[in-house]
Amino acid sequence: MITKIDHLGVLVSDIDANEALFELLGLDVGAVEHVPAFGVDIAFIRVGESLVELVEPVDHDSDIAADLRAADDDALLHHVAYRVEDIEAELETLRAAGVPLADETPRRGAGDARVAFLDPAAANGVRVELVERPSDVALD
Residues with Cβ within 8 Å of residue 137, at least 6 apart in sequence: 30, 44, 46, 51, 110, 111
Residues with Cβ within 8 Å of residue 126, at least 6 apart in sequence: 79, 80, 120
Read off the pLDDT of each residue in 82-110 and give the average, rounded to a whole number. Answer: 96
pTM of full prediction above 0.85:
yes
Q: Are 87 and 114 contacting, i.e. CB atoms less than 8 angstroms apart?
A: yes
Percentage of the chain modeled with pLDDT above 70: 99
Give 140's pLDDT tier (boundaries 50, 70, 90).
Answer: low
Q: Locate the domains of the chain by residue range.
A: 2-132
- The answer to whether residue 80 scores a pLDDT higher than 80 is yes
Domain 2-132: homologous superfamily in CATH = 2,3-Dihydroxybiphenyl 1,2-Dioxygenase, domain 1 (3.10.180.10)
